[in-house]
Each structure stands twice: as structure tokens, then as C-alpha cells.
Amino acid sequence: MKTTTRIVIIALIAGLTACKQKSSKEKTETVQKTENINSEEVGIDAGTTLLTEKAFDTIIDGKQVGLYWVESSDIKAAFTNYGGRLIGLWVPNKNGNMTDVVWGPGNIEGYTRTTEPYFGATIGRVGNRIAKGKFTLNGETYSLPINNGENTLHGGKKGFQDVVWEAEQPDKQTLVLHYRSPDMEEGFPGNLDVKVTYSIAGKTLKMEYEATTDKATPVNLTNHAFFNLNGEGSGSILNHKVQFYADQFTPVDEGLIPTGELRDVKDTPFDFTEPHTIGERIDADNEQLKFGQGYDHNFVLNQTPAEGMNHAATVTGDQSGIVMNVYTQEPGMQFYSGNFMQGKNTFKSGAKDEFRTAFALETQHFPDTPNQPDFPSITLNPGETYHTVSLYNFSVTP
């Protein structure tokens, strides 16, 4: 009787151990699949099942929030109209497997409760920083909410990243977003009508911005996508290879406000005129890098022509072989190397926003332009139309 009981107990333990091992194996496989988001089995739909309409179906400020897909036969993107956000972008890697190169939470709560408010967002009215939250226009001084040290960042405390945009989809390749920013919203003058069109053709994501106003106002629109060309959850971006078509950058003070100087990148860690990895010089003994805790600087594009606009950047994922070329009509581009990421937010893959695991390339006019008379103007007047286009094209290394 004792022998029989012992056999039964051993069998039960073995069964439980096998079950536990199987569960652990399944969990590991699931994490690996969601972190890499590149499966040969499902082609362009790889990883997109991590996003559901239900996870974004809510009402914010009395407006309906939803999930929207934009795609070609080559690449596919996911957006939400809360903040006009790009929340995922699937492109083929060097093996032909689809890879999600844009970080983003997998549900609306991940955006409304985040410690990083700009993941994938459409940024406005004025992208980047305005010194001490003040500027003077046509003899009148305007005060803005302070939300970044003693400065205003990305439009104020409730910039365009926190509003619900009206959304239209004329076809599966296009998403059109509308927002009317009322006079004096976040301290900015004039009623500003904004239209942003996100569209895909082939392997290119196009971002097109338009705006009109009934009173002179500064406007500098951009998108704050966080990229990792090896895929969401793949780790550090420091081995990504970067080339910028910029001979100068705008140095900043300790508050990351431009000094007004256009400084040559030659013989500095900011010289990406030839390809370098992001991490190669990021910890150099350099005052500008110390101010930004890494790269968080505007590069002055040298107007290298490509695609009918300025070639801004070429970035290559070291593991995936994915190459991203950025083209823009803007004079500048902010390069941010993920220096303030702290692992406090969880993305659709289950990965967290760990230190320097994503980067941003924000096409733009220069920071603090309203207070810098020598920088290209961002003032939009009544009767004028603000219009600018940026392209993000994807390919793979030969």
C-alpha cells in the first residue's frame, strides 16, 4: 500500500513538473514572439494581433477614441486619434520578416496614464522648447504653461498629444486627422485649424501637416514616434548606425534652450556626416552631451536634395538590417537618444521603456524660434497656409 501511494505521488509530482515546465516554455515563447514582432508565418499581419479595437474604444473629453490601420502591400501602421498617435509600424527586416519598429502601449490606458506623454504623438502647436514659457509677437507678450523645468515643451501641459482628433479614412492607405485649437489654448493666440494626413505608399510613411489661423501665431508641428529598428522589445539602440545630412547643430544651455549659435559638427560627437553608431561617442566628455544626458539636440539640415526635399537622416538597425531614410521640407531635425526613459511604461509587446531603447527623429523648425530672431520664422499669419511634409522610407541592407 505504501509503495502504491509513493508511485502515485511521484507520478503526480512528475505531471505537475512537466505541466509547469510546459507553461514556462509557452510563456517564454510568447514573450519572445511578442518582443520580436517578426513572424514568417503571418506576413504583414505579424504582431498586429497585439492591438485590438476594444483596447482603444473609449470616450475622452466627450469624443470617441479609436484604433485605425493604414497600410500598403508592403508595410502597415496603427494609429489612435487620441493625440494623433502612431502606435505601431510593421516593416520587413533583412530576412523578410515583419518587425514593429515603433514603440507604443497596446491600450488607451497606456497613453493616458503614461509617465512619457509623447509616445508617437502629433506635436503642437509648437514642437520643442520655448524659453521660460514666454514669447513676444507683434508687440504683445504671451505666457504659456511651464511643463519642462522652467520652459514650455511641445505645446504646453495639454498639447496636441492630449486631445482627441477627428478622424477620417478615405481609403486604407490614408488617415486624415482634424483639430481646431481655440484662441488662447495653452496661451497661444488665434483659432488654429489643423489637418494632419498620415499615408502609406509602398514602403514609405508620409506625414503631411497643414494649418490656418485667424490671428498671427507660432506653429511648428511634428510627430514624436519612438523608433527601434531592431523591433519593439529588442533592447538598446546604441548600436544603430546613424548618418545625418547636417553640418551644424544648435547648441543649448543647461535647460536645453538654444544659445542662438549654429555650431559646426566637425570634430565633435555631433558629427554624423559619416555613419557612426549612436553609442560610439554618447558618453564623451562633452558639455552639450552632459546637458542633454546624451543626444537631445536640433540638427541644422544642409539641404541635401532627395525625394524633392531635404535628406535628413539614414539609420540602420544593427540586428534587423532595416534602413530608415528620413526626408523633410523642414530646416531642422531633433535627435533624441532616449536619455530619460526609465522603464516605467509597458508597451504592446510586454517590453518596458528602458534607458536608451528607442530614439526619436523629429523633423521641425528650430527650438525656441519665437525668441530667436535669427532662426527661420514659425509665425503663421491670417490668409497663409502652413504646409510641410516629411517622409520615412524603409528598406534593408544589401
| Catalytic residue set | 224, 362
Q: Are 118 and 107 in contact (CB under 8 A)?
A: no
Backbone angles phi, psi at 57, to 5 degrees: -80, 100
Distance in angstroms (rounded) separating the CA atoms of residues 154 and 128: 5
Q: Which residues contact 383 (CB under 8 A, 6 or more apart)?
A: none
Other beta carbons less than 10 A from residue 59's beta carbon = 9
User: Residue 251 corresponds to which cell in the numbers above?
Assistant: 547648441
Residues in a beta bridge with 129: 153
125: preceding bond cis by omega (within 30 degrees): yes
Q: Which residues contact 75 (CB under 8 A, 6 or more apart)?
A: 44, 89, 90, 91, 92, 200, 202, 203, 205, 394
Distance in angstroms (rounded) separating the CA atoms of residues 82 and 312: 28
